[in-house]
Structure 1
């Protein structure tokens, strides 16, 4: 069991050893879980995303980075960035595509998601509704503690469902802008923390994704999460649950570990032994439930600064490159 000196009023490892964590199960799916999500997916695929590519904002690590906007469900117009292989004599055609989600708090710039996992790749880095500089939507809180509760009264209105749809529509926008990526299994889905939880919910229903990589994913095993204190969005949900215990009926449809039981694509999960923001048992529950080929990379900690962090982050980058190279490389 990893131990760090910290000042949190709780144990961010929650007393679990690695042996304990690899045995954490997923909650059973509601009978209509798959029907609910397939219907949401079909709705998202009908959206005319009308992507608009902006001028080049940066060029580095072998890609040109443009601003991009696209339409998602409900007619919401969202923004983000599109990375394309840099032009020049050595430029190669696009062979791989990625949809890259972000953590809670959104993204203000492409940041560490560039360089991309593989060369000769294109990627869309969307800001989902309510989050980040290019995802602000009137009426949706842009702070995680408020965002995670927006519309939580029912499964139809919960913002998390629309954020998953934002990823599907981002994939549609990417394929429209880069037609070489059309077809089943041509895209990779990546996400960290909030984006990891959304990725687990998005992957099972979208045949365009050939593989996924989820880092310290949130929303795993909600019944267990509700018993575990944290500093992340889960604490806001725990507080809401104390006043509204009936919310468990909604959360059952937005459980990343439950969704993982429907993920048949190869998926690499990087899960942490110690994490104050996203309780490790929930992270491991996502990995443990995966229905298809799965790989696990154990991190000492997530959402926490520690000696050796840079080395571990470099190891994750290399593991991600090898993983996608085997599944999407061609």
Structure 2
């Protein structure tokens, strides 16, 4: 039963208790799941990202924020922002993914989780003014279907590669992050960015830790049965007309990928969420193969009493978590 008064034509809690959510498994992987993603990763690492740093656009919270552009797979030139410490060299770095719709400014992703950090905030292809690319829809309900007919053409795979290329661009612009033997990069992603992060992390050894908030794309077979107001509803509608799409979705399941994530990961998953069904979020957490932490949120994608306090708690957990994993 939902714990909030709402006017959605479905229950955004989908009738699950926390105990039930903590038992939701990840779907099995196709036989060539790892080979598929390792090949995608190798192609992304081979890209000459040629990052270009723009002028300072704002200064706050201990960082100067520049515009940045870089090249990703397929020769797609993307933009975003780069945050650099005002004082001294960067001790840590972050790649910060965004939700569906992209970002028009760095917004609440700054301040960064740790002081003396650098971060790249990319706009993946098709998302936001700085991620706009001809032929790729910007609207989430259309973007999530772009190229879905084939695993090779599905835009979600290229968006994951955009994050890998963003990490390469960050390393080129802030070379001190590559010093030493211990990974000094962290990944942060919420909603769309959380799902992309789960897909990106298993194959990427440059990240030392990650934090995913209300991640999407978890347990597609289950998601296809659960109504929502997010991009998953568009996939559900497409599936009704094209049931064969399940063969493609198997390669882009965030929970299946999470089972292969070995670096420490903090997940914030919601009990009530109209946009990203909670069972999919918890499937990502449940599947994680390495050290994991969970913060249970009352609700996601929904304004509610207590939201500010939960957000503050998450930010504190994030600082503590990355401080322990990447070094204060």
Give me the TM-score of the superposition, normalised by structure 2: 0.98
Determine the C-alpha separation between the residues in 1 that align with 2:189 and 2:90.
Answer: 21
Residue equivalent to 1:117: 113
1:44-90 CA-partner distances (Å, limit 9, x unpaired): 0000000000000000000000000000000000000000001xxxx
Residue equivalent to 1:170: 166
Gaps of 5+ in 1: none
Q: How does 1:3-152 map to 2 (within 5 A)?
A: 3-86=3-86, 91-152=87-148
| Structure 1 residue 311 displacement after superposition | 1.0
1:93-114 CA-partner distances (Å, limit 9, x unpaired): 2110000000000000000000
Larger deviation: 271-280 or 174-183? 174-183
Q: Does 1:233 align with 2:211?
A: no
Determine the C-alpha separation between the residues in 2 that align with 1:35 and 1:321.
Answer: 34
Q: Does 1:180 align with 2:185?
A: no
Q: Does 1:223 align with 2:221?
A: yes
| Structure 1 residue 184 displacement after superposition | 5.7
Q: Verify the 8 A CA contact 1:2 1:300 in the aligned structure 2.
A: no
1:113-139 CA-partner distances (Å, limit 9, x unpaired): 000000010000000000012000000
Determine the C-alpha separation between the residues in 2 that align with 1:300 and 1:35.
Answer: 38
Residue equivalent to 1:245: 243
Count of aligned pairs: 326
User: CA 1:218–1:310 in structure 2 vs 1: closer, same or farther (change >3 Å)?
Assistant: same
Gaps of 5+ in 2: none
Q: Verify the 8 A CA contact 1:184 1:209 in the aligned structure 2.
A: no
SS state of the match for residue 131, structure 2? coil
SS state of the match for residue 134, structure 1? helix
| Structure 1 residue 181 displacement after superposition | 1.0
Runs of 4 or more, structure 1, over 6 Å off, are none
Question: Which of 289, 292, 306 is the matching residue for 2:290?
Answer: 292
SS state of the match for residue 64, structure 1? strand
Residue equivalent to 1:267: 265
